[in-house]
Amino acid sequence: DAGITQSPRHKVTETGTPVTLRCHQTENHRYMYWYRQDPGHGLRLIHYSYGVKDTDKGEVSDGYSVSRSKTEDFLLTLESATSSQTSVYFCAISDRGVKETQYFGPGTRLLVL
């Protein structure tokens, strides 16, 4: 398995609170991605990074921000969590871009009450 960890693995929070999810990789891959997975929607791209401090928006970026200060870490922040952000969040990495194999982390299950 690719060396990807996500923390926390489970989180329960209240509406309006800030939440930060962390993705850590040991593969030195350039590209990192954050997805959310919801029933009936498959995987939807939130944000991605193509290098340190280089990030861009995906399909469903509203309400989310990201940061990447080191190659190995990609943070996803929900500035003010809403119930619609209850989901399972996956981080993924790839070496040469989106048209190559993406390796996924184990996921973070987030419940916003």
Contact residues: another protein, CB under 8 A: 4, 40-45, 48, 50, 56-59, 90, 92, 98-99, 101-107
Minimum CB distance to another protein smaller for 19 or for 91: 91
Tell me if 104 sits within 8 A of 5, measured CB to CB. Answer: no
Minimum CB distance to another protein smaller for 14 or for 52: 52
Residues near 97 by Cβ (< 8 Å), separated by ≥ 6?
31, 50
- Distance between alpha carbon 76 and the CA centroid of its chain, in Å? 5
Minimal distance in Å, beta carbon 58 to another protein? 5
Minimal distance in Å, beta carbon 54 to another protein? 11
Minimal distance in Å, beta carbon 92 to another protein? 8
Minimum CB distance to another protein smaller for 85 or for 102: 102
Alpha-carbon dihedral 102, 30, 96, 99, rounded to 10 degrees: 40
The bridge status of strand 42-51 relative to strand 54-57 is antiparallel
Minimal distance in Å, beta carbon 64 to another protein? 14
Minimum CB distance to another protein smaller for 58 or for 63: 58
Tell me if 64 sits within 8 A of 55, measured CB to CB. Answer: no
